[in-house]
Chains A and B, each alone.
Chain A
Amino acid sequence: MWPHKREDGEEIASPCQTWLTAYVDGELRDEERARVEAWLAGNPEARAEVEAQQHLKALWERCPVPGPDALAWDDVLARVESALDAAATEDALTRFGPPRTPPRSRWRWAAWAAVAAAILLTVWLGQRVAPPDDGSDSESFELVSDTDVVIDDMDPADARALVVGRVPSPGSFGLEPGERLEVVSPEEVTIISMDGSDTPALVVGEPPVAGPLVLARRDEVQVDHMAPHPADETMPYLHAPEGGWPMVVAPLKAARKDGP
């Protein structure tokens, strides 16, 4: 019997009632609409119901909510931006705020790490990567070029990883044993310039990881310093499957600690 109530007390309309509502809202397919119209032709009571619903709908549409003025919109947008800036300092949108300055005490270690990373990358990537020319605090560091990286597949569990390299085949991506390598975290990369077409380029953290990837050009990225993540000491490392392209895998934050 209609109407009836669900366990939570909510009333459930009959199929006829809901079909009439869907008819009024233009939510029926052509053949469904034709069936309803044929039924309405011989059912004045249902026709009256449809007209009443159409009247209410028209009444509603004649009285749209007036929008706020431009100043009010500007104010709301400014508040949204401000709140996002504040949130960025905590977590989600880390690059909304100004670039983070690395703590001074870490710079000497960072310089060492940059050299180590460059050497390891040089070993694995050959001529694609050049080591920094000295041990200064802010090293130039060249990542793989834009032709070196395509991610064809990626496990969602790995989405919060820094990936620089090519996934050789679906399913092979993962934190398999590989050579450890210190690589930058999102806050530690300064993108000096980047074309709009390179927007999904350097993959640093936030999912979803976009691809096929086009990395920033070598001269567009500078590493300010490198260090294991302070929260869990996770270390990025180089993943180089046999016959595949090497890549740098860097767990971000406490996403996972099951590296080698």
Chain B
Amino acid sequence: MAAVIPAPCPHRPVSELDDDCLLRRVAEGKREALEELFRRYRVAAYRVASRLLGNEADALDAVQEGFVKALTHLSGFQRRSSFKTWLLRVVSNAALDLGRQRGRREAVSLEAAEVRDANLSLLLVPDESAARLDRAELRRLLDQALQTLSEPQRQTFVLHAEAGLSYREVAEVMDISIGTVMSRLYYARQKLRNYLGPRLSP
């Protein structure tokens, strides 16, 4: 079978190059290409890792590990999908591994949640809730709600909701069918609502 041979990379600033050209330059040791690739996807990677791990320090560790693994295991990247989906696959798996190793820290502890329940009662109406509830408190509540999901549901939901991946991209990342993605998202939302409902009601 013939290999697909990409076109030569144009002579442009790294910010204007596509991911494939950046990857080739990274492989050549071009640090500015690595910096651009990192700048391009660090936020999505961090958001996924942060939601899966619940704290900044662990999330940054997962981002670091994800970038390193993604770039040193490019042979596993078949280029049927984008580098972003490849990276998020590695980052999310790294985050889940890290979470299993370390356990989630106290940021999402139920004890802390109970202390905050009084404030959460302000969430009477959706439109009011965003304005009146402390955003950090709400974020922590959402983190707790995520913990009620199974690991596959959590990973699916986070890849879609935090990284903005389409159903097709989530399916590629997790190597599952689009139907399974849809099903997991449905049940994930059901569980999140079941958890959040009593806490967001008067």
Contact = CB atoms under 8 A, between A and B. Distances in A.
Interface of A: 10-13, 17-22, 25, 27, 52-53, 55-60, 62-65, 67-68, 72-73, 75-77, 79-81, 83-84, 87-88, 91-93, 95-97, 151-156, 159, 170-171, 195-197, 199-200, 206-214
B115 to A, nearest CB: 19
**What are the 7 A-B residue pairs with the smallest beta carbon separation, nearest first?**
A196-B11, A18-B182, A197-B11, A211-B5, A95-B29, A13-B183, A13-B186
B79 A208 contact: yes
Contacts of A55: 126
A55 B42 CA distance: 28
Given A21-B186, A52-B193, A199-B28, A62 B130 contact: yes
B28 A95 contact: yes
Given A199-B24, A208-B6, A79 B64 contact: yes
A11 B74 contact: no
Interface of chain B, main secondary structure: helix
Contact of B162 (A19, A65, A154, A195): A65
13 contacts: A21-B185, A21-B186, A56-B192, A59-B138, A65-B139, A76-B60, A76-B67, A155-B1, A155-B2, A197-B10, A200-B24, A206-B27, A209-B5
Interface string B17-37: 000010011111101001100
A208 B161 contact: no
Contacts of A52: 193
Nearest to B79: A208
Contacts of B79: 208
B183 to A, nearest CB: 4
Given A73-B42, A156-B3, A170-B2, A199 B8 contact: yes
B3 A154 contact: yes
Interface of B: 1-12, 21, 24-29, 31, 34-35, 38, 42-43, 46-47, 50-51, 56, 60, 63-64, 67-68, 71-75, 79, 126, 129-130, 135, 138-139, 142, 150, 152, 160-162, 166-167, 179-180, 182-187, 189, 192-193, 196
Given A63-B142, A76-B63, A93 B75 contact: no
Contacts of A67: 43, 46-47
B34 A58 contact: no
A96 B29 contact: yes
B24 A210 contact: yes
Given A197-B8, A210-B6, A13 B28 contact: no
B167 A22 contact: yes
In this complex, which of B60, B75, B162, B183 has the most chain A Cβ atoms within 10 angstroms of its Cβ? B183
Nearest to B68: A83
B12 A196 contact: yes
A88 B24 CA distance: 15
A58 B129 CA distance: 11
Contacts of B130: 59, 62
Nearest to A17: B186
Contacts of B47: 64-65, 67
A220 B150 CA distance: 56
B35 to A, nearest CB: 7
Given A17-B186, A58-B126, A170-B2, 18 more contacts: A18-B183, A21-B189, A22-B182, A27-B167, A53-B189, A56-B196, A59-B126, A65-B162, A75-B60, A76-B38, A77-B34, A77-B38, A80-B34, A152-B5, A156-B1, A199-B21, A206-B27, A210-B6
Nearest to A18: B182
A10 B34 contact: no
Contact of A68 (B5, B56, B138, B160): B56
